[in-house]
Amino acid sequence: MPGCIYLVATPIGNLKDITLRALETLQSVDFIAAEDTRQTLKLLNHFNIKKPLISYHEHNKYESGEKIIKRVLEGENMALVTDAGTPGISDPGEALVKMAIENNINVYLIPGPTAFVYGLVVSGLNTSRFVFEGFLPTDKKGRKERLDALLNEERTIIFYEAPHKLLRTLEDLYKTFGDRKISICRELTKKYEEVIRCTLSQALEIFKEKKPLGEFVLVLEGISKEELERKKTEDFKDISIEEHVKMYIEKGFSKMEAIKMVAKERGLPKSEVYKKALNV
């Protein structure tokens, strides 16, 4: 009978944030897979847990993953931990979960700290609807495509960023979104925890003078309804409703699909667009 895989969330800074269930799970499994075994060993030693450790990270996730799956299929239980936070969130644990499901292995999450949730809650921005983007692509084209796709996003947008890339990311956010509100969170739950709530232009001024230290959670304000309506008007002021509908039909959409899309983009009732598009 196969064993189980446990994804165990670990503290993002303060070791006191470990849960009793996480400690019990780490004590009970046959072995532990870790993103950085040296980092995890510090955690285990702190709580006097002695378990075999193996490496599982982005660069060996398939090779190591196959070995883990084989051992679990033979009946061993294992725990996966990341350096900090919840495995599977911007983390190669996602690949292991998929491999486990393909092999009919039960996967359980032992919940705990997640940096992006902390950052969102303390940001002061809208928490009712949000989108988590993790780390942006490093290549220029991929990064621009991702940011452009978020241009009209009304939900609060959350990113992760490393200190040496922070200034570039702030510059790209400012170029793409303009001077929106942002909450910049670093060293969460640690001694030098800091949350800076400002605008993107102010953030650029701050970090051109101040060297970024620690891992960052960036929480960006979504586009306002007023700004979105203004953009809709501006984006299509040079083409008629008929031309707008025709543009989508030429792209392969049906007439009714095109009418729905145009109505949404222009903020108009579908009936009004339908009347204008009768002859298209």
Residue 262: the pLDDT is 83
- Type of residue numbered 127: T
- What ranges do the domains of the chain cover? 4-113, 116-223, 226-276
Q: Which CATH superfamily is domain 4-113 in?
A: Tetrapyrrole methylase, N-terminal domain (3.40.1010.10)
- Position 232 scores a pLDDT of 65
Report, at the CATH architecture level, how domain 116-223 is classified.
Answer: 2-Layer Sandwich (3.30)
- pLDDT beneath 50, residues of the chain: none
- State the pLDDT at residue 4: 98
- Tell me if domain 4-113 and domain 116-223 are identical in fold: no
Q: What is the pLDDT of residue 237?
A: 67
For the entire predicted model, the pTM comes to 0.81
pLDDT of residue 213: 93
Q: How high is the pLDDT of residue 235?
A: 66
Owner of token pair 């491999």: 99
pLDDT value of position 131: 97
